[in-house]
Amino acid sequence: MNYFLKTSKNCNNNCAYCYLLDKKSKKEKSLADIEREIKTAKKSGYKEIKLSCNTDIRKDFFDVLKTIKKYGLKTILETNGRIFCYQDFLRKIDKYIDRYESYLNFSSNKNIHNQSIDGIRNIVGFSKKKDIIAKIVLIKDNPFFLIPIIDQIKQLRIRKLKLVFPFKLDQTDAILSLVEVTSEITAAKKYACKKGIKVLTGQDLEYNPYLPKDLSFFDTKTADLKVDFKKNQTKPKFSVVIPTYNRKNNLKMVLNKFFKQDYPKSKYEIIVVDDGSKDNTLEMVKKLKPTCNFKYFYWPRNEKKLDRKIKKWNKFYNRAGFSRNIGIDNAKGEIILFNDSDILVEKDCLKRHEKYHQKYPDIIVRGFRIFLPKSKPEKTERGIRLHCRMYDLYQEGWQRVITANLSVRRKFLEKVGGFGKDFVFWGSEDVDLGYRLSRLKMKFIWDENIKVYHLAHSKESDLDISILSWLGANLLYRRYFDEEIFYVYRDIILRRLDSYISN
């Protein structure tokens, strides 16, 4: 996990495609401010510092590199390559750099600056054992020149490529819409593969504008264990992980259903992660009488100061995925069962989940929701009930991996890194997990016999749901550049929400 450190607004290239730098300002961060930011990033669990393009032209560049090394972090350097056309300079700093990410773009049908090409050639020639990645920012017209850019990458002997597709936050932003570039991206990925160049996907999104700037939002280490009820010493089979926020009455009902499971109490534990509730959830929890091992974590929230462009999203911020990661990190069970704090289960829930895990070593199991109070069953494809249909997750069904009663072996969650940090709004963080698990060629069963009941809560407006679905679809596509994601979410993406979101 790397922390992106913007160090400079000064520029020696003024690339037409650049969307990171404010070219009206020449003000740089001081070295003292940079060190404070590095210390905060390390405290928040980051292992790498990524330096923004043009850090390499700062007068105190060596001091910045030494400061990162002082705190035991790795350094990733973004560069347009121009400064490295001077080989002596490269020799001096190379020992501080763990990875280079070199921008290679066309802003039109013209070639890249000769000094940039010379500098990148020097990096490739001098740093043969280091990771060197070519980076293309998709903006303005350059998506239509991806093939010649890839040819340039091949000539430079770079074997890895990273595509960055910025978000259109304003109507004036010089960024094409998703539907305009999907075919070009798909063709470029296939062409790069043909040329022996690996296109990197599935990592945390770069420059996600919706992420809060306050690093405490992501600091799971601040979650405090408030209740630790130990009834059994044996290692449990299941760890039930329940994130919650301001739902103490619903949570009480949910927990009591789990306490009454027709399943050995020594074979499961319950972990509740409270995402900063302000409704006295802790007081309710302290009065409970657990019948199995039980832990309750309280993870405080800070009020966030948001960029004015995304201030309107404040009410949608949600840390359910991060809360589940806290549960995973503290789980003892071999199998993790995710359940929401408004999902009631029947007494045979764990038994039914276990039946599948005993039979299949690589399966994901999901319960079938019935919405209360109207007892309306969950919608399925074309309204047809599934009758325990088995999916080959790599081929289909990953978009149905929803954590409202879902179990998976912990080793698979650890293998894919848990829930991604890009999904800071309601929804899509579980679908993203499903997509990554699908790459492990897992099976998926959505069993209508595992009945769970979704309690009614304050209903979001149809517009809010549409916007959040639009955001989730955009985040997913930008992480993986998979045409399948585009087609799955096409109806959402093509809705007329661009004008609302951009204004």
pLDDT per residue over 204-219, tens digit each?
888 788 888 778 888 8
pLDDT of residue 24: 45
Residues 409 and 477 in one domain: no
Residue at 259 is within a domain: yes
Does residue 123 belong to any structural domain of this protein? yes
Q: Tell me, yes or no, whether 410 and 492 share the same domain.
A: no
Q: Give how many domains the chain has, as a whole number.
A: 3
| Domain span holding position 471 | 463-502
What's the pLDDT band for 378 if we cut at 50, 70, 90? low
Domain shared by 423 and 281, yes or no: yes
Measured from the Cβ of residue 143, the count of other Cβ atoms closer than 10 Å reads 23
Q: How confident is the model at residue 103 (pLDDT cuts 50, 70, 90)?
A: confident
For residues 311 and 277, membership in a common domain is answered with yes
Q: For position 266, what pLDDT does the model report? A: 96
| 210 domain-assigned | no
Neighbours of 374 (CB within 10 A): 7
pLDDT digits (tens, 9 = 90+) for 153-191: 999 999 999 998 888 777 777 778 888 888 999 999 999
Whether 19 is in a domain gets the answer yes
**pLDDT, average across residues 280-302:** 94
Task: Name the burial class of residue 66, with classes exposed (0-12), middle (13-18) and buried (19+) by CB atoms within 10 angstroms of its CB.
Answer: exposed
Per-residue pLDDT, averaged over 407-434, amounts to 93
Judgement on whether residues 419 and 469 belong to the same structural domain of the protein = no
Least-confidence region, from 21-25, 59-63, 158-162, 248-252 = 21-25
pLDDT band at 307 (very low <50, low <70, confident <90, very high): low
Q: Is residue 209 part of a domain?
A: no
Q: Which two tokens stand for residue 44?
A: 């928040």
Same domain, 80 and 196: yes
11 CB-contact burial (10 Å; exposed 0-12 / middle 13-18 / buried 19+): middle
Confidence (pLDDT) at 329: 96
Distances (CA, A) of 44 to 1, 2, 51, 319: 11, 11, 17, 16
287 and 343, same domain (yes or no): yes
Side-chain-facing half-sphere of 84: CA atoms under 13 Å: 30
- Band (pLDDT 50/70/90 cuts) for residue 269 is very high
Task: Give the number of other Cβ atoms within 10 Å of residue 82's Cβ.
Answer: 20
pLDDT > 60? residue 495: no
Match 């998506």 to its residue by tokens: 143
- The mean pLDDT of 359-365, rounded to a whole number, is 95
| Contact (CB, 8 A) for 289 and 227 | no
Binned at pLDDT 50, 70 and 90, residue 237 comes out as very high
User: Are 139 and 100 members of one domain?
Assistant: yes
Model pTM score: 0.88
Both 192 and 325 in one domain: the answer is no
Residue 1 clears pLDDT 80, i.e. is over it: no
Q: CATH code at 104?
A: 3.20.20.70
Looking at the domain assignment, is residue 207 inside a domain? no
- Per the model's pLDDT, the better-predicted residue between 176 and 443 turns out to be 443
454 and 469 housed in the same domain = no
Same domain, 316 and 257: yes
Residue where one domain finishes, among candidates 200, 235, 254 = 200
Which of 77, 37, 33, 75 minimizes the C-alpha distance to 57?
77
CATH assignment of the domain containing 338: 3.90.550.10
- Assess whether 450 and 302 both reside in one domain: yes
On the question of pLDDT at 108 being above 60, the answer is: no
> Which is more confidently placed, 313 or 337?
337
Among residues 151, 166, 200, the one where a domain terminates is: 200
Classify burial at 244, counting beta carbons within 10 Å of its beta carbon; exposed 0-12, middle 13-18, buried 19 or more.
buried
pLDDT score of 107 more than 80: no
Confidence band, pLDDT 50/70/90 cuts, at residue 383? very low
For residue 79, is it within any domain? yes
